[in-house]
Copies of this chain bind each other. A is one copy, B any other.
């Protein structure tokens, strides 16, 4: 067997082990008995150890030297395997295990601190995590800038300066839109009543099918914090149910279905190869957001959803389609990122990005973070933070060392903007069919232009190939202006 085939085969086994680890993590959130946690942590550690050993195995290094990739597939597989290998060998085992242990403790401390609304309990842990992440970043950064080393893990090739520049373009327009909306003082619809949990889940299943989620290669379960897990032939989503707020279940389902369809629709030629899954977090999030917002919160789709909800739950306290549309697109200044509307969402991200850049650069020390958060929040959102679970302690990301992750959420929104603009140009009257719950024109376009390619192209190339031009934030900002100017009669 050729060196390149050997390399791809060896990598396939490693990938299969990662799939098993992913399913074990899914099980932990959905099925695991309450007192199995310690044994589970040991299992995950054992599997991680084996996977890491394989990734940095000298056999991979030797095959990378010998391999002569010829086909497009082989060339791309080679690039991705080499990237993974270089990263694995750059990180000493001691640092890796130190990071694993420290973030595990930090995450537990964060959970408690959040419950107690007491940042000082979490602060020393966060300090340790940041020190280790700085050390890791110094080994990974292509530019010398530590933050670039961190963001590279989630969005390969993107730099801090690019994000800074994108956010500089966006911020004034978002703040302006926010301001104009708040000045309108329109009465905002409010949802009242109790919505049966089983019916919510049944409707969630119907919506998932509507968006072409393949239940023969997936399933839906309930959890505290919804996520999508797996790839290829087994992509599972999760949702949560709140009897007072059915949109929590329904829109988190659409969001996760967006992630899941991306994975399910990758070309089967790429199955079990480095090309066989979504290429980056920023592209992945674009799919979940376009499903959730551009399609799921469109005027046309909400007409269908309004009817469906009346079928499932009977009449409720919303009078007509238009009021329902305004309900699911209500703009309100809340504290919590995951509950934010489309106008506010990216301001939450900017706040976090700006703080993590400063803290990684050591321009801001950990004990000063809460004040910096609260000041920025007041500045962008106009409200005072009263408890840290509404502020600095609301997200898990920093406790698990995920610095550089937050900006990919905004990149997802912006990519969704680029893709939706092009989709609308390609397909006249794209949204008409949404009214009858038929979104296949949109999902088919996404499958053809994004999903099926898996990790064949770099994120920027993929967007350019799909839209015919380079990525810019403009289309997304135009989409927001158009949608909310109409909604709020600006």
Chain A residues with CB under 8 Å of chain B are 12-13, 16-17, 19-21, 23-24, 27, 31-36, 38-40, 42-43, 45-47, 49-50, 214-219, 232-234, 236, 271-272
Contact = CB atoms under 8 A, between A and B. Distances in A.
A320 B132 CA distance: 67
A33 B219 contact: yes
A33 B272 contact: no
A43 B20 contact: yes
Contacts of A50: 13, 17, 50
B24 A43 contact: no
A42 B24 CA distance: 16
A189 B222 CA distance: 44
A232 B36 CA distance: 9
Given A13-B50, A50-B50, 17 more contacts: A16-B42, A17-B50, A19-B43, A20-B21, A20-B24, A20-B43, A20-B46, A20-B47, A24-B24, A31-B31, A33-B218, A35-B214, A35-B217, A36-B217, A38-B233, A39-B234, A39-B271
A27 B49 CA distance: 23
Given A16-B47, A20-B20, A27-B27, A40 B272 contact: no
Given A16-B47, A43-B19, A34 B216 contact: yes
A35 to B, nearest CB: 4
A43 B16 contact: yes
A233 B271 contact: no
A17 B46 contact: yes
A421 to B, nearest CB: 35
17 contacts: A16-B42, A16-B45, A16-B46, A17-B47, A19-B39, A19-B43, A20-B21, A23-B27, A31-B219, A33-B216, A33-B233, A35-B214, A38-B233, A40-B233, A40-B234, A42-B272, A50-B50
Nearest to A40: B234
Number of copies: 2
Contacts of A16: 42-43, 45-47
Contact of A35 (B47, B233, B236): B233
Contacts of A216: 33-35
A424 to B, nearest CB: 33
A39 B232 contact: yes
Given A27-B23, A31-B31, A49-B13, A39 B219 contact: no
A442 to B, nearest CB: 24
Contacts of A12: 46
A457 to B, nearest CB: 24
A20 B100 CA distance: 15
A13 B49 CA distance: 9
Contacts of A24: 20, 23-24
Given A13-B49, A19-B43, A234 B33 contact: yes
Contacts of A42: 16, 272
A216 B35 CA distance: 5
Contacts of A215: 33
Nearest to A271: B39
A99 B346 CA distance: 52
Identify the 10 closest CB pairs spanning chains A and B, nearest first.
A16-B46, A36-B234, A39-B233, A35-B216, A13-B46, A36-B233, A16-B43, A34-B216, A35-B217, A33-B217
A459 to B, nearest CB: 26
Nearest to A35: B216
A93 to B, nearest CB: 11
A47 B20 CA distance: 8
Contacts of A39: 19, 232-234, 271-272
Nearest to A37: B233
Contacts of A234: 32-33, 36, 39-40
Contacts of A21: 20
A294 to B, nearest CB: 28
A49 B46 CA distance: 15
A47 B219 CA distance: 23
A40 to B, nearest CB: 7
A236 B40 CA distance: 14
A9 to B, nearest CB: 11
